[in-house]
Structure 1
Amino acid sequence: MSAGRAGAQIKSFEAWDYVVFAALFVISSGIGVFFAIKERKKVTSREFLVGGKQMNGGPVALSLTASFMSAVTVLGTPAEIYRFGAPFLLFFIPYTFVIIFTSELFLPVFYRSGITSTYEYLQLRFNKVVRFAATIIYIVQTILYTGVVIYAPALALNQVTGFDLWGSVFATGIVCTFYCTLGGLKAVVWTDAFQMVIMMIGFLTVLIQGTARAGGLRNALDQAKNGSRLEIFDFDVDPLRRHTFWTIAVGGTFTWLGIYGVNQSTIQRCISCKTEKHAKIALYLNLVGLWLILACAVFSGLIMYSYFKNCDPWTAGIISAPDQLMPYFVMEIFASMPGLPGLFVACAFSGTLSTVAASINALATVAFEDFVKSFFPNLSDRWSTWISKGLCVLFGILCTSMAVAASFMGSVVQASLSIHGMCGGPVLGLFTLGIVFPFVNWKGALGGLVTGITLSFWVTIGGFVFPAQAAKTHPLVLSTEQCVQLNMTETAPTTAPSVIVNRPALAETWYSLSYLYYSAVGCLGCLLAGLLISFITGPQKGKDVQPQLIRPVGNLFCFWSKKYKRLCWCGVQHDSETILDNLETDTAWKQGTGLDGLKDGQDHLPGYNPDEKSYTNLASEKVTHF
């Protein structure tokens, strides 16, 4: 069935929609309150930040999926498919590479280093200056991204309920700011797990009803094919094309590796697991969740196109932005089913609560650990608590204010991935320099970071000011031939006078680069500059680098020769990477040394005292006896 009646008045929530939405909202909040009360006596930072390192892989996997695939995916991805076709499905490729790299390259280093914040690693590997620089970038990135995440569900509420858009934005920010002060990581993880289930139920409900209204799945896919929506594989190597196989496979890998591999929110959940094995299981289970959500979003977009193929509500002026397509579609297909629109909005909105709350909490934690404690190391527990809460309020205000700017960033998917690419790419390059290249010194790390940030901000801001022409973005044809004719005196848009904009030469090349390459530009720029500066200023001596801070990737290529392995190690003594494999599980070790993978008998590892049989933890400076 086509949407020939799509010019009708936009529908709004009924009583049952409010009931369903409110019930799911209360349950989500109740989980957070439950854990806040349950864990109220466990006031240590270890319990609050990493759940005592006793989390299981299952809920952590659901939490990871819900955090990074919330309202932005529910609203934005179907709209992307509707407008540009199904090449977005190819994101299953970068998702796979990203999880493999995260679990096998980055996670082992973070987990075994005994750190809580990823930026502690940078101080251990380089120095405080590099750590502070990366922390500032993370704060900027997270505030920008959280603004988009707050704006997206508020847009959905505005479209389907008639709620005031900015009232919804500020209400979301206020609720999340309050919520993030209640519980620690356990509350966030279990709330995310519940919201992931709700997200899947919401998507499946839309898919089932949408398919029925479209005349069956086969009919919907035939119509999508006729509309060129199923042309998935485009092997054009032109980097200016928005979505091709290469931009998604290569650019998407760099972008999502910056999100997963070195992101504080991801790593914090992973190191909360009981063991490194549990953390890896969580990541690989999360990959399955990413695939499922991606498939649901893609098929939702195809079915939505089938429904609106003869009357595009965006082109017709019925809705004001592409990201309103999905909620408008939901209100259309569930017009006679009160309660189900409320379920969908809860699907988009509830996931945002946990994402934003986790972001605010992570921002406050990073700011407190990296800045406040560095300058005021002797704060009492009481002052530490009050300052942390004050930082939560501060970042809640900043993130909510950022949502206003998000309304000018275009589609929520492109905006969010552009932000991650702009900031996450250079930081990914920085951590890669530290983990993969033992000879990189702090000057190379800092110089590489500055270079990567400069390049990524240059291309991203240039692309925003001088957006790529339609010929490069390749939006597909949308029809309005069967729309109900609206009152033209009320709805006809006014035509602005033609303005000739002088586009610089770079606008057709550098500024038109696909947004998925922003992260690659920043990462590669950081790597190249960091390596060059390190060689010019004098490489770091391998013997001065702690082996657990380096991942000997050369082992993958030189597994047949110990000689070449040692050559690739650049002087780092990886033979002593593990000390305590057979260590008895004493209380002190459980409480935070963090070097779970170290093996027995290597008394020449820096920090190990063979006389006292003790090891000094690099991150906490605590001594563990064994």
Structure 2
Amino acid sequence: MAEGSRMSLWDYAIFVSLFVSSTAIGLYHACRRGRGDLFSSERNLGPVSVGLSLTSTFMSAAQVLGVPSETYMFGAKFLQMCLGQSFNVIITVFIFLPVFYRLRIKTTNKYLEMRFNKTVKMYGFILYIFATVFYTGIIIYAPAVILNQATKLNIWMLVLTTGIVCTLYTTMGGMRAVVWTDVLQTLLMMSGFWVFTVRGIFRVGGVQKVWQAVYNGGRINFGDFNPDPTQRYTFWTLFLGGSLVWLAMYGVNQAQVQRYISCSSEKSARWALFINLAGLWTVVGSAVCCGLVMFAFYKECDPIRARILSTTDQLMPHFVLDIFEGVPGIIGLFLVCAYSGTLSTVSTGINSMALVTLEDIVKPCWGQMSEKQLKHIPRALSFLFGFLCITVAMLCSLLDNEVLRASFTVMGVTGGPLLGIFILGMFFPVANSWGVLTGSAVGFCLSLWISVGASFYPPSPAMIGALQTEISGCSFLPDFNHSDAFVQQNEYSNHSDINRPRISETLYGISYLYYGPVGTIATTIVGLIVSYVTGSKEQDKVSADLLWISTRQRKIAQPIALNPAVMDEVDEHLFHSHSFCQESKEEDYAY
């Protein structure tokens, strides 16, 4: 493949159509949107649209680029990540969903205020905004760099276009526009994977030859039960680590909770999560199949070891351009596939950050708001966070090119401690505010320490279990030295192994999927200890509605198809009785 490929008119037309269609959906729903519909959609969304939206939210370009390349390097065992996702959905359906849905709250931070106090709510707010802004910035910037290297499209054009379009249709159409653009983008993403996989099978010579290549290459490796936490992907890493990472994203993350509590009933919300699970299995399975076909295509000439490419994240665009060489419109098709996930993630992040700021900060301090203020302030917040995400994306120039690892690291370091806070709140009546604040601080610092150490002393490919690749078919390259290429195999780490401290091979070497679980476990253990030491909150002072066990033992009124007027009345009561700007006092939050 030539060094970078120029886009034709067909490519531009196909790529631009994604942004035009997304903006059109925003305009359509802006014309139909009524009062209160910008964020909550008045709890009247169907399970299918919400389920596909949940699927698309975290299947960003990082996954489109990262999952096939990780499958190429580590084998089909990456598919076991879906087992962790399945376990996460079951826990969310039976534990977190009933609590959030039945409390009739709009933000997860409101739960923290009701269960603990305003300080914990503000801590959760700050942690969520920090995490979402940086995660969204990574999702905007990192794929732009990779695609620039493959297609020579201008990086800043990609960054600005993504940020501006997402901000535009999110601001105009609100939640409903975000959900329906997510549906479109999910279908485009899956279609892209299928097209690339089928074309790759055809170029390799059929399904039988693909299977023979991946089997002989050791890529069919589902039976890896190695308990070593430094192995990047094993059954335990993907199931246990993956379960807690995805639970932090689906169980308590505002972006996801906001969607499934927008369903018309709790039953619809449960169905939405199961539809989302089917979508995740389909998308991840398609990406893994694409990665296996990619390995079969390059079985005799690994572009990384041959130094054709400098990072594994370039494998997917390189593969697409190779199998469709000379076919017009293919670069545009790949960009649509990659950026469908990015647009979904970015728009979701902007929408959720605007909501938590409005509900947790603006309304409590502002008090009663006029119709005009309710119309313009949410839009201003969406523009503000869109601008912040674009700014962070522009500051990510020093980011490591492994976009999948970077995105999961940010989610793990911040989401792990936040998940621990909600576990303490819902499962342990003795937990108090001192406990959750201290525990989450310890969990966050521990996860951050490990992730920063791993960035300074990244493990070698052999240490984390990268599989062998071949270069015997690369003899056509001029002045190619096979022994030198062997030394440089899988060169996606530029750090020297000389003078590495011992801790770099133990604590810093653990799989990035364990960063979140480390934070969750540390938060829970330290939180319980500190709660007991400082004087636990008596169980009879904690409203039964705030504990998971109570939702299983007794029937709580379920807000099925709530009247919007009733919701406004409930919200008004919450804003005046629990205002962040009022002085703190002991309150009984039982409904």
Establish whether TM, by shorter chain, passes 0.5: yes
Q: Which residue does 1:25 correspond to in 2?
A: 19
* Greater mean deviation of Cα atoms: 254-263 or 368-377: 368-377
Matching residue within 305, 308, 315 for 1:325: 315
Aligned position for 2:587:
none
1:74 is matched with: 64
Picking from 539, 556, 562, the partner of 1:542 is 539
Q: SS at the partner of 1:471?
A: coil
Name the residue aligned to 2:463.
Answer: 472
For 1:397 and 1:484, the matched residues in 2 are separated by 49
**Contiguous gaps of at least 5 residues in structure 1:** 1-5, 556-573, 595-615
Q: CA deviation at 1:147?
A: 1.8
Report deviation, 1:217. Answer: 1.5
Letter in 1 for 2:114: L
Tell me whether 448-457 or 338-347 shows the greater mean CA deviation.
338-347
1:342 matches 2:336: no
Match of 1:224 among 214, 239, 261: 214
- 1:421-432 matches, cutoff 5 A: 421-432=412-423
Greater Cα offset, 182-191 or 394-403:
394-403
Q: Is the 8 A contact 1:85 1:230 kept in 2?
A: yes
Q: 1:304 maps to what in 2?
A: 294
Per-residue CA deviations over 1:47-93 (Å, capped at 9, x if unaligned) read 11110111010100011111111312211100101112122011121
Shift of residue 10, structure 1, vs aligned partner: 4.1
2:345 counterpart residue number: 355
Cα distance in 2 for residues equivalent to 1:278 and 1:408? 40
Equivalent residue number for residue 556 of structure 2 = 578
Per the TM alignment, residue 592 of structure 1 is displaced from its structure 2 partner at its CA by 6.8
Q: Is the Cα contact below 8 Å between 1:160 and 1:327 reproduced in 2?
A: yes
Whether the aligned pair in 2 keeps the contact of 1:159 and 1:328 (CA below 8 Å) is: no
The structure with more radius of gyration:
1
What amino acid sits opposite 2:416 in the alignment?
A: G
Checking the alignment, whether the CA contact within 8 Å between 1:459 and 1:518 is kept in structure 2 is yes
Residue matched to 2:9: 15
User: Mapping of 1:164-563 within 5 angstroms?
Assistant: 164-377=154-367, 380-383=370-373, 386-403=376-393, 404-405=395-396, 408-483=399-474, 485=476, 502-552=499-549
Q: Is the 8 A contact 2:142 2:401 kept in 1?
A: no
What SS class does the counterpart of residue 459 from structure 2 fall into? coil
Structure 1 vs Structure 2: percent identity of aligned residues?
41
Question: 8 Å contact 1:114–1:592 — kept in the other structure?
Answer: no
Distance in 2 separating the partners of 1:95 and 1:500: 35
**Residue 13 of structure 1 contacts residue 160 of structure 1 at CA under 8 Å; is this kept in 2?**
no
| 1:434 alignment partner, SS class | helix
> Following the alignment from structure 2 to structure 1, what is the Cα–Cα distance between the partners of residues 494 and 327?
45
Distance 1:256 1:333 in 2: 33
SS in 2 for 1:184: helix
Q: Note the alpha carbon deviations across 1:515-542, whole angstroms, 9 max, x for none.
A: 1111111001011111111112222222
Take 1:321 and 1:355, find their aligned partners in 2: how far apart are those partners?
23
Size of the aligned set, in residue pairs, is 568
User: Does structure 2 conserve the Cα–Cα contact (< 8 Å) formed by 1:53 and 1:274?
Assistant: yes
State the 1:485 CA deviation: 4.8
Q: Secondary structure at the match of 1:240?
A: coil
Distance across 2 between alignment mates of 1:238 and 1:497: 24
Task: Tell me if the contact between 1:229 and 1:302 (Cα under 8 Å) persists in the aligned partners.
Answer: yes
Distance 1:191 1:133, change over 3 A: same
Are the equivalent residues in 2 in contact too, given 1:28–1:350 (CA < 8 A)?
no
Q: Partner letter of residue 6 of structure 2?
A: S
The CA deviation at 1:195 is 1.1
Q: Deviations over 1:386-419 (max 9, x none)?
A: 5544433332233223334276234111111111
Q: Distance in 2 between matches of 1:497 and 1:351?
A: 29
Q: CA RMSD in A?
A: 2.8
- d(CA) in 1 for partners of 2:339, 2:156: 15
Taking the aligned partners of 2:245 and 2:439, their CA distance within structure 1 comes to 18
Q: 1:587 to 1:457 in 2, by over 3 A?
A: closer
Deviation at 1:326, TM superposition (A): 0.7
* Aligned residue runs from structure 1 range 30-41, under 5 A: 30-39=24-33
Measure the CA separation in 1 of the matches of 2:569 and 2:238. 39
Structure 2 unaligned residues grouped into runs of 5+: 579-591
Q: TM-score, normalised by structure 2?
A: 0.89
Which amino acid counterpart does residue 240 of structure 2 have in structure 1? V
TM-score of the aligned structures, taking structure 1 as reference length: 0.84
CA contact (8 A) 2:178 2:348 kept: yes
